Every structure is written in C-alpha cells, then in structure tokens.
Amino acid sequence: VQLQASGGGLVQPGGSLRLSCAASGIAFYFYGIVWFRQAPGKAREGVLCISNSGGTTSYSDSVKGRFAISRDTAKNTVYLQMNSLKPEDTAVYYCAVVYGSRCPDLSNLPGVVNYWGQGTQVTVSS
C-alpha cells in the first residue's frame, strides 16, 4: 500500500492550495480517509475526514468554512481543498487510511490509522 500526498508548497496568506492523496494497493472507497497535519513543535492533529459514503467530519474548528475534503473514487484519490490560508495553517500535511469505513474518534491515535502517507509541506507566509 502506498499513499502519495502532493500539492503542498509556499502560499501567501489568503491563498489556496489543493492537496491530493493518491492510493495504490488499496481501494480507497472501502475506508475512511483522514487528513492530518503537524506543525513544528506540535502534536499531529486531525483536520478532516471523509467516510466511504462521502460523509465528512471536521476535527478542527480552525478550518471550518475554509477547508473541504472530497474523494474521486475513479482516481482512488482524496483531496483537501484549502482556502483563505493563514500562517497558522503551516504544517506538514498527511493523509491516512483508517480502519473501517467511518470517520473515527481520534482520541485513540495512532491505533485508528491503518496506513499513513508521507507528508507534504504547506507553508503560508508573505
């Protein structure tokens, strides 16, 4: 199983990025997929999750109304659209496949994650 995250980069405050997480060796549509992020010196935190039925769960109040998660089953890819980016969104972003089809309670990290992707760096700075 490989999860390839891409789309990160340097963006000015207020800008947008779309991250992609492409999977090989696993059928994404069976599982819940979570985007996490980890800022320097901070713990990894959940951002958004999409279940196999397309329902979404937000784990971070700070991204509500700005970030959205979606999936393209045909491409076996999950996206994280990030708008109105702020400097505090700077982090390494990771996608992960969780056990089961639903969005999990993240209080039992890392036990809920089946596979981790490699991270992609997002830097928001002027």
The pLDDT assigned to 108 comes to 80
Question: Which amino acid is it at 40?
Answer: P
Q: What length is written for the chain?
A: 126
CA distance 123 to 25: 30
- Residue % of the chain over a pLDDT of 90: 89
Q: Is the pLDDT of residue 111 over 90?
A: no
Q: Is the pLDDT of residue 41 over 90?
A: yes
More confident residue, 106 or 39: 39
User: H or E segment at 96?
Assistant: strand 91-98
DSSP 9: E
Q: Are 19 and 119 a contacting pair, CB within 8 Å?
A: no
Residue 46 to residues 13, 24, 67, Cα–Cα distance (Å): 21, 22, 12
Residue 19 to residues 12, 51, 83, 94, Cα–Cα distance (Å): 16, 18, 11, 10
Q: Is the pLDDT of residue 93 over 90?
A: yes
Residue corresponding to tokens 């090989």:
24
